[in-house]
Structure 1
Amino acid sequence: MPSDAAPASSAPSARDRVLDAFEELLAEQSERAATLDAVAARAGVSKGGLLYHFASKEALAAGVLDRFAALIDDDVASMRTSEKGPVDYFLRTSIPTDSRFERAMVAIARLAQADDPRARDALAGAQRRWLEVLQETVGDPLVARTIMLIGDGMYYNTALLPATNNVLRDETDVDDLIALVRQLAEPAG
């Protein structure tokens, strides 16, 4: 029986391809390398096609920031509902992966490095939201901030020093670290 609904397309729209290309160029290279011409070429659209969706590089940045906001909303929701709890979730996701979220995070960081105040605000907002969930979970603001710093260190060691990382060697180290953090987070007495 024929359906009235249009067939679902799995191919991303031209607009999404442009945003993906901008994120990729930011993450792989820099804000300076993510020119309109380079974005159009990477997305496989004409420059006119890019400008149809995004009139300027600032509009592209706004589009990427909007997508990042949605990704943060999803991440915080996942953190709150994680089967093993928010602390476990936060620490395990502090290890970079080759994911859309990771690419968006690096792209936003590149915009922040290029003095985009919207990007700095977006990163600070994400950090505030993660910290809020951690504080709700552990009850102690200092312990929550300590967990954030441990997550930052995990990211640094695994993203920036992958070949020389002697701190987190394998999944057992991560499990042991999380067990230790759980002890830190337990109420005294």
Structure 2
Amino acid sequence: MPTVRDRVLDAYETLLIDHGGASVTLDAVVAAAGVSKGGLLYHFASKEALATGLLDRLRERSAADAEAIRNAPDGAVAYYVRTSAPGGASPGGLTRTYLAVLRLADSTTTGQAVRDALAKVDADGYAALLDELGDPVLAWLAQLVGDGLYLRTLTGTPMPPDMTVDDLLDRMRQYAPRRQ
């Protein structure tokens, strides 16, 4: 069963994704989470503290995902590309948290902290890809492919007809084989 803190953060994520940062209030989070105002304020004393809590969650989930990338049986590139493709969200909630945090990026009060957290997520993924590939250019190219697929996921744009993620990975492996 999720803790009150997790329920609050889950509700905050949903509200951010559905309505954007400017329209989310503490009262809306209380209602969506099904907690008392005191329960919310015990964990997050302000809207800024709530945003900080979400950024902490993003960093935690990013670190766990980077570990999953490194330990993926099919390799880091395959994991990164598959979880970036439409329908392939990362386990552990990173994709959802990342999307919610994106909705905070233009905030004047939390904007820089959000950009810093997103840069950390990017660095975690890149480092895991670099561990496998050993070449910074190939690691960055693999990350860009994953980022492009992730953008398609966010916008609902499908893969090109008659192409699958496996087709993409097969071609990528020709140019970026796993280090032994």
Question: Does TM-score exceed 0.5, indicating one fold?
Answer: yes
* Separation of aligned partners in 1, 2:5 and 2:154: 29
**1:177 and 2:168 are equivalent in the alignment:** yes
- What residue is the counterpart of 1:30 in the other structure? 20
Tell me which of the two structures has the higher relative contact order, counting C-alpha pairs closer than 8 angstroms and 6 or more residues apart: 2
Query: Which residue of the other structure, out of 98, 104, 126, is the alignment partner of 1:111?
Result: 104
Separation (CA, whole Å) in 2 of partners of 1:140 and 1:53: 43
d(CA) in 1 for partners of 2:21, 2:115: 14
Checking the alignment, whether the CA contact within 8 Å between 2:63 and 2:124 is kept in structure 1 is: no
Deviation at 1:98, TM superposition (A): 8.7
* Structure 1 residue 14 corresponds to structure 2 residue 4: yes
8 Å CA contact retained: 1:27, 1:106 = yes
The structure having more radius of gyration, on CA atoms, is: 1
Which residue identity does 1:20 align to in structure 2? D
1:53 equivalent in alignment to 2:46: no
Which one is further off, 93-102 or 136-145?
A: 93-102
Whether the 8 Å CA contact 1:68–1:105 is kept in 2: the answer is: yes
Distance 1:132 1:108, change over 3 A: same
Contact 1:40–1:46, Cα closer than 8 Å, also in 2: yes
Find the counterpart in structure 1 of residue 76 from structure 2. Answer: 86
1:136 aligns with 2:131: yes
Q: Which deviates the most, 141-150 or 80-89?
A: 141-150
Q: Following TM superposition, by how much is the alpha carbon of 1:145 offset from its aligned partner in structure 2, in angstroms?
A: 1.2
- TM-score, with structure 1 as normaliser: 0.83
- SS of aligned partner of 2:84: coil
- Give structure 2 stretches of 5+ with no counterpart: none
1:29-83: CA deviations, max 9, x gaps? 2111221111011011232332222110011111111111111111011100100
* 1:138 alignment partner AA: L
**Contact 1:95–1:159 (Cα < 8 Å) also in 2:** no
The answer (yes or no) to whether the contact 2:70–2:132 under 8 Å persists in 1 is no
Unaligned runs of 5+ in 1: 1-9
Q: Does 1:146 align with 2:141?
A: yes
Q: Which has the higher helix share?
A: 2
What letter matches 1:110 in structure 2?
A: R
Question: TM-score w.r.t. structure 2 length?
Answer: 0.87
1:7 matched residue in structure 2: none
Identity fraction in percent: 45
Distance 1:98 1:41 in 2: 28
RMSD of aligned alpha carbons: 2.0
Partner Cα distance (1:102, 1:28) in 2: 15
Any conservation in 1 of the 2:84–2:90 contact (CA below 8 Å)?
no
Structure 2 Cα separation of the partners of residues 104 and 156 of structure 1: 15
Structure 1 position 40 matched with structure 2 position 30: yes
Amino acid at match of 2:164: D
Structure 1 position 69 matched with structure 2 position 59: yes
